[in-house]
Homo-oligomer: A and B are copies of this chain.
Amino acid sequence: MIKQNHSRTGPSAVGKVSISDDFWSEYIRLVREVVVPYQWEVLNDRVEEAEPSHAIQNFKIAAGVEQGSFYGMVFQDSDVAKWLEAVGYLLETEPDPELEKVADEVVALIAKAQQPDGYVNTYFTIKEKDQRWTNLAECHELYCAGHLIEAAVAYSKATGKNAILDVACRFADYIDRVFGTEPGKLQGYDGHQEIELALVKLYQATGERRYVELSHYFLNQRGAKPNFYEQEWEKRGETIHFPQLSIATDLEYSQAHLPVREQDQAVGHAVRVVYMCTAMADIAAETGDEALLAACRRLWGSIVSKRMYLTGAIGSMAHGESFTQDYDLPNDTVYAETCASIGLIFFAQRMLQIEPDSEYANVLERALYNTVVSGMSRDGKQFFYVNPLEVYPPVLGKNKNYDHVKPQRQGWFGCACCPPNIARLLASLGQYIYTVKGEEIYAHLYIGGTAELDLNGTAVKLEQQSKYAWDGEASFRISVPQETVFTLALRLPDWSGAAAIQVNGAEYKVSEADIHNGYIRLKRAWQTGDTVSIAFEMPILRMQGHPLIRQTAGKVALQRGPFVYCLEEADNGGQLFHLSLPATSELSSAFDTGLLGGMQVITGNGVRFDSKHWQDELYRRDADWTTEQTELRFIPYFAWANREPGEMSVWINSMN
């Protein structure tokens, strides 16, 4: 029934990659052995200490195999879809018949919950049968559809089984009959972008061009006047699903304030922005829509030049999980949702496919090695939704501006978007390492493993060995069916000093001419057995913020390689705001094997200010401050909050 087309039809391919890496393999093992099994238990409400999910139960009720009421968020279905998507990625790299059997049962359940017309959504099927498509601004129907489609594409690709892809296509076909500019169709679009990028994946999996057109329609319709959300709101009697927010009228929240091609500032809900941009880049690539690509570049610039944290986090404000204003980057009240940085990685990946430039990969790396990994504990059992750059525990629970900030990762969330999002990203991490474009193979990330890439019909195999994360070293072994001319483009990370390259064991002197858009380009006729090794200088960097960021004025943060560092109370005592790092202080880095599985730790001489003679006065003049030398110890940001709870800060006062 469905025209299957498993070959990648996009503008550039990511290849088939399996990972074997000092740093990442452990995380992927955790996803496989801990996260995905744990999430399955949660989805089935079998974890006592987690908030109830009810997500599988909702599907059972919608499928008519159990009785009961809907429970959970209006987008609860998407938790099941993201789990299934992660399972797909895991099965693609390593068979697991038992897991596949469980997943097949989920597929059968979803298929059974699908309505005769193709519709799938347990909330509306169980709870508001007659209210389909009446509250697109708030109710996530197309968002859930998008996640179901992404799951279907991943799972069918991994297993070769079409059942879930059939469900997805029948649903997409139904959506295509409901939405559009033609008379009688609904001229709406979802409040939370997701369907748009999913439809492109569905097209890439099936070759069905209508899905690209439907995605293009959703993007084109967004922000059209008169505004659809205001109209549907009036039409349904001004009812509100989320009374804390003003989604129907606050059009910036869901980027519906302007047509997408006219948007040049990242505003509103951060996850929505980056999911939208991902789809815009996809559609630009698939259709050659230059205006859309130009808007992608503008929005990228708005995010990474004015509205992003050093850790690759985005979303300065808890209210609306939103962007705020250029250079407004508070470290303590920040939202910095894990999902938002994951979406930023999607966006970066799509831009790299269109126009390889290390700017995109540098940000991708920054988000991945800092905010995303920070989102999960070192044992894979707990998660951060919010990733602050500064935490002062005594005020948490007291000052409500910090109500979203937790000093420790949590087991699960009522709104459980982040844990399964981390799982699916890590399970598919291989898709972010390389792109092939014409006769060029780009290595964006230095993550060990094996990649099978299709270079215009020639199968190129790259075996990467990497000690990149801690030591800045990687090497490649090339296999080709016959001698093949192509360019191997190796990213020069933004944190690196000089890079030393060896080709087949001989030093290769990099010239300026070799470097283009941040990649060192090695063009030659490659043969099987050729090797390339690259070693980056990995200095400890004192990073500073733009002069207009008031929250970083007079401060520095340390970075070494891809990792941003932080101070924790466990190493440095309390009142981190009394610590300073003199500009002249020497810093050194050493691998601490005993720390949370082993990691590079930075130490250096710092200064602690204190006023021992201060009595009870709240304010005084002529205070007698003392300074004492102290050793400062910085650990990678991603590893924070894995010991006893305490203060944490990425930025430290600098002394001139």
Taking beta carbons and an 8 Å cutoff, which residues of A are in contact with B?
Answer: 304-306, 308, 310, 316-317, 319-320, 324-326, 328, 330, 333, 392, 394-395, 398-401, 495, 541-550, 553-554, 559, 575, 577-578, 609-611, 614, 616-623, 625, 627, 653, 656
Contact = CB atoms under 8 A, between A and B. Distances in A.
Nearest to A655: B656
A620 B544 contact: yes
Contact of A544 (B325, B544, B578, B619): B619
Contacts of A548: 575
Contacts of A627: 656
A585 B352 CA distance: 53
A120 to B, nearest CB: 34
A623 B547 CA distance: 10
Given A547-B575, A623-B544, A653-B554, A399 B324 contact: yes
Contacts of A619: 310, 543-546
Nearest to A549: B618
A330 B622 CA distance: 22
B325 A542 contact: no
B316 A614 contact: no
Nearest to A307: B618
Given A325-B398, A328-B395, A554-B653, 11 more contacts: A305-B617, A330-B399, A333-B401, A401-B401, A542-B622, A543-B620, A544-B611, A544-B625, A546-B618, A547-B578, A554-B609
A317 B395 CA distance: 11
Given A609-B553, A653-B554, A618 B308 contact: yes
A320 B498 CA distance: 55
A541 B543 CA distance: 35
User: How many copies of the shown chain assemble into the complex?
Assistant: 2
Given A547-B611, A575-B550, A614-B547, A401 B306 contact: no
7 contacts: A305-B618, A319-B401, A324-B395, A324-B400, A546-B618, A546-B619, A554-B653
Contacts of A545: 618-619
Contacts of A622: 542
Contacts of A549: 618
A617 B305 CA distance: 6
A543 B324 CA distance: 33
Contacts of A620: 543-544
Contacts of A495: 621
Given A395-B324, A578-B553, A653-B554, A401 B618 contact: no
A623 to B, nearest CB: 4
Given A310-B619, A578-B553, A398 B546 contact: no
B398 A328 contact: yes
A304 B618 contact: yes
A621 B577 contact: no
Nearest to A495: B621
Contact of A542 (B317, B554, B578, B621): B621
> Looking at A326, A399, A541, A618, which has the most chain B CB atoms within 10 Å of its CB?
A618
A177 to B, nearest CB: 40
A437 to B, nearest CB: 26
Contacts of A326: 394
A333 B330 CA distance: 12
Given A547-B611, A554-B609, A577-B550, A306 B618 contact: yes
A622 B542 CA distance: 7
A621 B394 contact: no
Which 5 pairs show the lowest CB-CB distances between chains A and B?
A325-B398, A319-B400, A324-B399, A541-B621, A550-B577
A610 B401 contact: no
Contacts of A610: 547
Contacts of A319: 400-401
B400 A543 contact: no
Contacts of A400: 317, 319-320, 324
A616 B543 CA distance: 15
> Looking at A308, A316, A621, A627, which has the most chain B CB atoms within 10 Å of its CB?
A621
A395 B401 CA distance: 16
Nearest to A559: B621
A325 B399 contact: yes
